[in-house]
Structure 1
Amino acid sequence: MDGQYITLGFERERPSARRSSTKRAVLLFLLVGSLLITLFAYWDVLMITASAVPLARGIDSIDQTALGNETLAEKLHREVRILCWVLTTPKYHKARAVHVLRTWGRRCNKIYFMTSEPDDELPTVVLTKPDEYEVLWGKTKEAFTYIHEHFADEADWFIKADDDTYVFLENLRYMLYPYSPSTPIYFGFNYKLIGSQLKNASYMSGGSGYVLSREALRIFAEGHNDSTKCRQEDNSAEDLEMGKCLFNLGVKAGDSRDGQFRNRFYPVGPFESLLSGYTGMDFWLYKYAFYQPRSCMDCLSEYPVSFHYVSNEELYVFEYFNYQFQLSGQRPMVERLPERIREEDLVIPESDNTVT
């Protein structure tokens, strides 16, 4: 009986043991599967987070081992110091200037608003010239001279902008990094000096802003009173007279285009450069541009420096899409700083725009 009991008991227990073994296998499979799914999801989130970097932050994705705890944007902010000065008037202090200060102006190493009256909300420098469009050249001379006398040691580069301009400071520093501030050079959107006898001469658009090296600032501040080289009267186009004056003083008009010959300074909004049908071939920009402008979806530089005719609302739109907007699934960009350029190796291309 004992043998039979044992035999019968063995036969009765075998199906139960199989079921228990099957359950354990299923549970183990589910556990392993859940673990794999969790790990995969975690990895996917990591990849999405790493790749969702907007352009302005994308520059920071350089190899961090060479920077320690410092991002590339922070390194450039420290090494390429930029003083911004914005030309404005009292009637635009609240309508425009304060919005510049709250958006891109925050990223300047220093920023000052050149105007005719002080303002508690703005770091202002009060000029003596009247608030008249006809004397912009006079106001510009006074502003740059004041900056040279009081703030020359506070920055390496000095950019003039209007109160309806948007400037991407990270991209400007990235563009300027190869150049020494001891080189007499300035950058902006190059216009032809039409009708000038100066060979291959250009000047920079005032609307999109132009940036002078420390040496260019010194040369201008000390030389603009020379009547043989610079216009002494105040009543003339500011950017045109600035170009003539700097050319005569030996300051180079640099080429600010990127490696694919796409402009980085824009005297207009982005639409004119993105959409070929937005303007006709008689558009003034096509005639006056020193380097041939193009309009297409690939014609905008990936690292634009500035746009002109930007409304207050668009200032904040640019802020959102460059400093808050995230794009899921975008592959991270690993970038390198450009090589330094010695002054003796500097080559500025001639004009390639044949439109007259």
Structure 2
Amino acid sequence: MGGDYILLEQHQQLGDTTLFPGGSCGSSGAGGQVSRATRRRLSSFQQLLLILVAGSCTIALYAYWDVMLLTSGNVPETQLSNETLAEKLQREVRVLCWVLTTPKYHKSRAVHVMRTWGKRCNKIYFMTSEPDDELPTIVLTKPDKYEVLWGKTKEAFSYLYEHMLDEADWFMKADDDTYVFVENLRYMLYPYSPDQAIYFGYNFKMVGTHQKNESYMSGGSGYVLSREALRVFVEGLNDTTKCRQEDDHAEDMEMGRCLFNLDVKAGDSRDSKLRHRFYPLLPFNILLSGYFGLDFWLYKYAFYSMRSCMDCLSEYPVAFHYVSPAQLYVFDFFNYDFQLMGKQKPVERLPEKIKPEDLVIPEYDNHFD
């Protein structure tokens, strides 16, 4: 550094000497006419000071550029090239999860949901009647009674619509004994536009007198509404001809009936091999064909034909129901930490986007009574 020189400009009117480091921020590089007499060698301390100033300015400019890119919605190509498929989906398919719970289950159930699959949602909230320091809670006004689950569901979705509509593309409702593979949920939702009024879950046939193709999604394994479906639901739920105004009766059934009357489409959540991805039971109920008899209620009420066999479980399941707190951690371990030596990972590709006008939803095919 002993051979480096710096130009100094004499400000006679001020009587001081000002440093103009070449290439540093705040300097135009012109500096005016400077004579050789104004050149002198800098001390080591001055050189170090100039290096620190130049470095600080460079860091500040880079940080400003990075913030501008993020706020404008653009991500640097170098960052995109290193992005995993799961990270891409997390960025492009924003899922807000909300879990229906009660204070008596905060510590025994809800907190374990938060520590496992819940942390993978873009945002998660626990709908309950009391706040909790360990949980991001939203306190509802409805009482903690099973008989008013429909009322609590209406209130929860209404709150999200009024305060968080723009914070997510999809809104997933689950119970505190549900396990959700959030990455698989995003993968399933990727082809669909959140601006289309559609929702997904495990599709049940409507019981009793109903219209053709009327169905509802199992509340136990959860269901997910698009942003537009949420808007249509909340803005239309006070229509007495379309939605039940009382808070009682089965929550998932009333949700399905209300959405059907509001012309929100009940999407087909099965994979390309017609295997279900939402399950109102645990995995072994589906894998073991002899576990239940043919008179089991699941076979009777499934909207799409239901089977139990070792090949009947989707490779990319989304949700299971009746999962104990201990099983939440087992699911987490075998899917996020467990490694099988020598197993070749599959090549993963995102599905094609589906235009709303090209969407085809199959009619029910389960004629078992």
Establish whether TM, by shorter chain, passes 0.5: yes
| Counterpart residue type for residue 320 of structure 1 | F
Most deviating of 136-145 and 193-202: 193-202
The match for 1:315 is 328
The match for 2:103 is 90
Q: Does 1:205 align with 2:242?
A: no
The match for 1:285 is 298
C-alpha RMSD of matched pairs (Å): 1.2
Structure 1: state its 5+ residue gaps.
Answer: 1-63
1:265 aligns to what SS in structure 2? coil
The percentage of aligned residue pairs carrying the same residue is 77
Q: State how far apart, in whole Å, the 2-side matches of 1:139 and 1:158 are.
A: 15
Q: Alpha-carbon deviations, 1:266-317, whole Å to 9, x = none? A: 0000111000011111111000000011100000000000000000110000
The match for 1:260 is 273
| Counterpart residue type for residue 244 of structure 2 | R
1:266 aligns to what SS in structure 2? coil
Q: Does 1:355 align with 2:349?
A: no
Give, in angstroms, the shift of residue 201 of structure 1. Answer: 1.2
Q: 1:215-294 alignment to 2 at 5 Å?
A: 215-294=228-307
Give, in angstroms, the shift of residue 197 of structure 1. Answer: 2.7
1:187 aligns to what SS in structure 2? strand
For residue 78 of structure 1, the aligned residue among 76, 91, 102 is 91
2:127 aligns to what SS in structure 1? strand
1:94 aligns to what SS in structure 2? helix
For residue 154 of structure 2, the aligned residue among 138, 141, 144 is 141
Q: Alpha-carbon deviations, 1:75-112, whole Å to 9, x = none? A: 00000000000000000000000000000000000000
| Counterpart residue type for residue 338 of structure 2 | F
2:81 aligns to what SS in structure 1? coil
Q: State how far apart, in whole Å, the 1-side matches of 2:79 and 2:205 are.
A: 42
Q: 1:14-163 alignment to 2 at 5 Å?
A: 67-163=80-176
TM-score normalized with structure 2 length = 0.78
Residues 285, 65 of structure 1: alpha-carbon distance in 2 compared, 3 angstrom cutoff = farther
Q: State how far apart, in whole Å, the 2-side matches of 1:202 and 1:281 are.
A: 22
The match for 1:214 is 227
The match for 1:195 is 208
Q: State how far apart, in whole Å, the 2-side matches of 1:65 and 1:264 are.
A: 34
* Larger RCO of the pair (alpha carbons < 8 Å, separation 6+): 1
Q: State how far apart, in whole Å, the 2-side matches of 1:226 and 1:200 are.
A: 21
1:144 aligns to what SS in structure 2? helix
Give, in angstroms, the shift of residue 202 of structure 1. Answer: 1.0
Q: State how far apart, in whole Å, the 2-side matches of 1:194 and 1:251 are.
A: 19
Q: Does 1:185 align with 2:198?
A: yes
Give, in angstroms, the shift of residue 334 of structure 1. Answer: 1.0
TM-score normalized with structure 1 length = 0.81
Residues 92, 335 of structure 1: alpha-carbon distance in 2 compared, 3 angstrom cutoff = same
- Name the structure where helix makes up a greater proportion of residues: 1
The match for 2:317 is 304
2:327 aligns to what SS in structure 1? helix
1:287 aligns to what SS in structure 2? helix
Structure 2: state its 5+ residue gaps.
Answer: 1-76
2:126 aligns to what SS in structure 1? strand
Q: State how far apart, in whole Å, the 2-side matches of 1:276 and 1:66 are.
A: 46
| Counterpart residue type for residue 167 of structure 1 | V
Q: Does 1:332 align with 2:345?
A: yes
1:212 aligns to what SS in structure 2? strand
- How many residue pairs were aligned? 293
Q: State how far apart, in whole Å, the 1-side matches of 2:335 and 2:345 are.
A: 15
Give, in angstroms, the shift of residue 196 of structure 1. Answer: 3.0
Residues 66, 280 of structure 1: alpha-carbon distance in 2 compared, 3 angstrom cutoff = farther
Give, in angstroms, the shift of residue 335 of structure 1. Answer: 1.6
1:112 aligns to what SS in structure 2? strand
1:160 aligns to what SS in structure 2? strand
Spell out structure 1 runs of 4+ moving beyond 6 A.
none
Q: State how far apart, in whole Å, the 2-side matches of 1:332 and 1:66 are.
A: 23
| Counterpart residue type for residue 282 of structure 1 | D
Residues 274, 207 of structure 1: alpha-carbon distance in 2 compared, 3 angstrom cutoff = same
Q: State how far apart, in whole Å, the 2-side matches of 1:246 and 1:314 are.
A: 32
Q: State how far apart, in whole Å, the 2-side matches of 1:66 and 1:256 are.
A: 32
Q: State how far apart, in whole Å, the 2-side matches of 1:158 and 1:196 are.
A: 29
Q: State how far apart, in whole Å, the 2-side matches of 1:86 and 1:205 are.
A: 14
The match for 1:176 is 189
